[in-house]
Chains A and B, each alone.
Chain A
Amino acid sequence: AQTVTQSQPEMSVQEAETVTLSCTYDTSESDYYLFWYKQPPSRQMILVIRQEAYKQQNATENRFSVNFQKAAKSFSLKISDSQLGDAAMYFCAYRRKSNSGGGADGLTFGKGTHLIIQP
């Protein structure tokens, strides 16, 4: 079974600085997706960025970028120019592309990293 590990329960960064959140995962699959989700205190989970395992180029969405190391099974999130609105729980998640039954698995989440932005 696949597992996702986020080793940083909490991270703190000064506003306008850069922070990197770590994520490692374990899978025997070769084709899968990795995601970073943000969950603000209002609780609604929002997709931040997505990476397909077969794409070597690291995904980027505005101030958010990832460092995807497939061989090391590492998927870190870098937030540049941190803003107060970035404060939230951040979850790394994995999803196999498809299963043998023709369906798709649910997302497997890590335990999350609580990101604090210091003004």
Chain B
Amino acid sequence: DAGVTQSPTHLIKTRGQQVTLRCSPISGHKSVSWYQQVLGQGPQFIFQYYEKEERGRGNFPDRFSARQFPNYSSELNVNALLLGDSALYLCASSYRLAGGYEQYFGPGTRLTVT
């Protein structure tokens, strides 16, 4: 079975631009979470979606938004990019929303903002 997939693998953007990152969860998983991992740090939680509704949000500015589609895939959008947005963006899927369900991570999208 395919794992969590993310696209693109790498992305280079200029300050002020907008970016969309995509994630496809494991088949049968209804929850998708997004994390930002700055170099040398642990991942930080951005959003969690379940059944197409936002069910959790981390401490990120409104420039960050996301949505989940009927097929449970998800997009993360970041507007007005800043240099500090350069990071590895990880998507994770889980079967259910509850805290104990394992989150399976994708390989990530490396975003570089110049």
Instruction: Name A's B-contacting residues (CB within 8 A).
Output: 4, 32-33, 37, 42-47, 50, 52, 91, 93, 95-99, 101-112
Contact = CB atoms under 8 A, between A and B. Distances in A.
B45 A44 contact: no
B107 A32 contact: no
Contact of B42 (A33, A44, A46, A111): A111
Given A52-B100, A101-B55, A103-B50, A111 B41 contact: yes
Contacts of A101: 55
Contacts of B107: 42-44
17 contacts: A33-B99, A37-B105, A43-B107, A44-B106, A52-B100, A96-B99, A99-B56, A102-B55, A103-B50, A104-B98, A105-B45, A105-B99, A106-B58, A108-B45, A109-B43, A112-B41, A112-B42
Interface of A is mostly: loop
Contacts of A102: 55
Contacts of B103: 47, 107
- Give the interface size bracket for B toward A: 20 to 34
Given A43-B108, A104-B55, A106-B35, A98 B99 contact: yes
B44 interface: yes
A102 B48 CA distance: 12
Nearest to A94: B99
Interface string B72-114: 0000000000000000101010000111101111111000000
A47 B102 contact: yes
B68 interface: no
Contact of A109 (B3, B42, B108): B42
A33 B99 CA distance: 7
B90 A104 contact: no
B107 to A, nearest CB: 5
Interface string B31-61: 0010100001111111110100001101000
